[in-house]
Structure 1
Amino acid sequence: MVKGVDKVGLESSIRAVERETLNDRVYRELRTMIMSGGFAPGSEMKLRGLAQSLHVSLMPVRDAIARLVVERALKMLPNHRVIVPEKTIDEFLEIRRVRILLEGEAAALACQHVSPDVIASLKRIHEKIKSLSGNKQRQFWALNQEFHFTVYEAAKSPLLLSMIESLWLQIGPVFNHIPINLTSEGARGHHRIIAALSAGDAKAARAALTEDLMKGGDRIIAAFIQDKQPAH
């Protein structure tokens, strides 16, 4: 026992730290799942089911859900049900415009800081993406997220990174409905990003990232339109 430290108070503090760590872990896991299309737009976030799948109690899940509602990643309805918000095409286009500005800037900044280890990581993720089969939609989007955020973290701009994360939280659920065969060009776009970063060419990195978001966005919009077509 440390002299001058109350045992009950110390144990209480330790439990508080453990709870905070668990809350943060659950929050990060749910956040990552949302950003990579782990939940379909319009689906309800059921606390008990989430707690069971994450092997935790209801409390950290409830805390994480509340944080994600504040971040606009989730939406609380008047009856207190929490759902994954759906996006219209106009909302998607607005988010894409802002993403191009922020993520293009992050790619350009990354050219100043990118290391051989980062390039190696991007190439490794790129190879994993190319090896995926057509029924690996969830894996594609998870790897796509990992690829992009490896670039953005290399920009060494915490504020810019947090803004990009906020946009991905809003757009991530859209990925849930996009078939993998609509994303085959994504690997080629990633190759151009890697090449620009390897050359330290900020202008080319911005252009490659912009092209990747534009082409990917066009495929998502096409899927949106197809999904809204009346069944015959």
Structure 2
Amino acid sequence: MTPTLRVDKSNLSSRTYEQIRSALMNGEYSPGDRIRIANMAESLGISITPVREAIFRLVSEQALEMTAATSIKVPQLDAATVAEIQLIRRLLEGAAAEKAAGKITKDRLDHLAQTHDRFIEAVSKSASEAARINRDFHFELIAAADMPNLYEIVGGLWVRMGPLLHVFHSHVPARAISNDNHPHYRVLKALRVKDGASAAKAIQEDIAWGERILLEWMSFSSLLSA
């Protein structure tokens, strides 16, 4: 699968890198998808060189894997790697939520609530859209903490998890997400009263819940393919 990307002609390598990275974060690729450099360059209307440079940069960040000189794939993470990434996410995103509770403005909080509403609406319509908007919610929350280094680190984790998070939204029944018990509601409630500890706990519960569903699905899928 090759998402439709558009790249400005200036600083092609960096712009191509950002576009592919964003596509991975948004779940526009699935685990195991093969990326053909020549095909991507053709679809973008640019030369192979900037695409290759962008791909190799993502390989160095473990967002993509190279199994041969011309074979680039989206990694298929194992259960141990998923559990480790999700643990780090819980720690970092929890810290960001706690900090955000004391700093978030009313406008930012209102926008975060609107993002959640759009996420719930998208759940029953489009897995890819739900995955993208869910990412928006998490990164708007992190941005409100004003911790740019943490933001970048978590971004790297989401690049690796994005393809699986799309799978998550494709397989979880909409009714399991779009209900009044979704942890995002507790995040918003805590932010409104500036309760940092509760905001941290709620976003960590959200990440932990997603991890349980992912690991259950991965275990079931491995049994089917055995």
TM-score of the pair, normalised by structure 2: 0.86
Letter in 1 for 2:38: R
1:210 and 2:217 aligned: no
1:150 and 2:140 aligned: yes
1:30-41 equivalence runs, <5 A = 30-41=20-31
CA deviation map 1:137-177 (0-9, x unaligned): 00010000011000011111111111111111121121232
CA offset at residue 114 of structure 1? 0.8
Partner of 1:19: helix, strand, or coil?
A: coil
1:105-184 equivalence runs, <5 A = 105-132=95-122, 134-178=124-168, 179=170, 181-182=172-173, 184=175
Partner of 1:229: helix, strand, or coil?
A: helix
Q: For the residues of structure 1 that align with 2:101 and 2:43, how far apart are their CA atoms?
A: 39
Matched residue, 1:196: 190
Q: For the residues of structure 2 that align with 1:102 and 1:181, how far apart are their CA atoms?
A: 25
Query: In the comparison of the two structures, how many residue pairs are matched?
Result: 215
Q: 1:203 to 1:186 in 2, by over 3 A?
A: farther
Matched residue, 2:218: 224
TM-score of the pair, normalised by structure 1: 0.84
- In the alignment, structure 1 segments of 5+ residues that lack a partner are 1-16
Q: 1:217 to 1:144 in 2, by over 3 A?
A: same
Residues 200-209 or 39-48, more deviating: 39-48
Is 1:134–1:181's contact at 8 Å kept on the other side of the alignment?
no
Partner of 2:102: helix, strand, or coil?
A: helix
CA offset at residue 33 of structure 1? 1.2
CA deviation map 1:173-228 (0-9, x unaligned): 21232225346544521111111112211100110011101111111112212222
Letter in 1 for 2:27: G
CA deviation map 1:27-65 (0-9, x unaligned): 222111111211111111112333344454433322221
Q: 1:110 to 1:56 in 2, by over 3 A?
A: farther
1:19 and 2:10 aligned: yes
1:89 and 2:79 aligned: yes
CA offset at residue 231 of structure 1? 6.6
Q: Percent identity?
A: 28
Is 2:41–2:51's contact at 8 Å kept on the other side of the alignment?
yes
Partner of 1:113: helix, strand, or coil?
A: coil
Letter in 1 for 2:21: R
Matched residue, 2:58: 68
Q: For the residues of structure 2 that align with 1:55 and 1:122, how far apart are their CA atoms?
A: 36
CA offset at residue 18 of structure 1? 5.9
Q: For the residues of structure 2 that align with 1:111 and 1:94, how far apart are their CA atoms?
A: 26
